[in-house]
Amino acid sequence: MGRKFFVGGNWKCNGTNDEVKKIVSMLNAAEVPSQDVVEVVVSPPYVFLPVVKSSLRPDFHVAAQNCWVKKGGAYTGEVSAEMLVNLDIPWVILGHSERRALLNESNEFVGDKVAYALAQGLKVIACIGETLEQRESGSTVAVVAAQTKAIAEKVSDWTNVVLAYEPVWAIGTGKVASPAQAQEVHLELRKWLETNVSSEVAASTRIIYGGSVNGGNCKELGGQPDVDGFLVGGASLKPEFIDIIKAAEVKKSA
């Protein structure tokens, strides 16, 4: 089954009103492959979601960077999945390593969030990835398998899930995983899905890579057989994001 190339831009906690308008103008003017070839989703901070959604070209979509684990209510400072649905925000990023590390989000909590968001009708970019210490101790595959298991235990339909493998040591460090390193983990994840979920889910679920992706390294990474796209941080705020979207063409010609 074909897996459409997916390029996500995670703007994290960045941007002013003016900067956001400039990024949207840059995206709107870009010539990129068609929606049949690449799915593009940008994720501004919550406060900018409505303006980005209403001014962004219709072939690009928006994602929130998080949402609450259950129905909204007395949870000061949180934004619920229902609110995102109400505003027609189709996607949400969940389990980003920055939230896992800084806000102590556990594997179980992330699994609960993914299940709840899917049940409300959102599409989810679920993030997993090992720290440098875990990689150096040889536990990369065990760590990402445990993170994926906590999601798989609560999710039965994977149609609306994109799995983002983001090694923590590669995020914002300029230290990108080599294409071989990325491919190795993506293949392990696909095998894990095959064994523990189903061969259909393993074949159809997009597994994207995140961590210091830029205009220079995207083609080689995207050319790996089990790399189905990217989740881009820093470079998604810059014109080189367009080059990263265009890396989808490596799959078209493959």
Catalytic residue numbers read 96, 166
Q: Which of residues 4-33 bind ligand 13P (CB under 6 A)?
A: 10
Which one, 150 or 235, has the nearer CB to ligand 13P? 235
Stretch that binds ligand 13P, among 46-54, 141-149, 151-159, 206-214 (CB under 6 A): 206-214
- Residue 246 CB, nearest approach to ligand 13P (Å): 17
Stretch that binds ligand 13P, among 116-124, 182-190, 201-209, 228-236 (CB under 6 A): 228-236
Q: Under the criterion CB under 6 A, does residue 210 sit at the interface with ligand 13P?
A: yes
For 139, the token pair is 């536990």
Q: Under the criterion CB under 6 A, does residue 245 sit at the interface with ligand 13P?
A: no
Among 84, 213, 227, 245, binds ligand 13P (CB under 6 A): 213
Rounded Cα–Cα distance for residues 251 and 115 (Å) = 30
Q: Under the criterion CB under 6 A, does residue 233 sit at the interface with ligand 13P?
A: yes
Q: Which of residues 90-149 bind ligand 13P (CB under 6 A)?
A: 96
Q: Under the criterion CB under 6 A, does residue 232 sit at the interface with ligand 13P?
A: yes
How many chain residues touch ligand 13P (CB under 6 A)?
14
C-alpha dist (Å) from residue 133 to 14, 130, 137: 28, 8, 6
Please give the residue whose beta carbon sits closest to ligand 13P in the complex.
233
Q: Under the criterion CB under 6 A, does residue 172 sit at the interface with ligand 13P?
A: yes
- Give contact residues for ligand 13P (rule: CB under 6 A): 10, 96, 166, 171-172, 210-213, 231-235
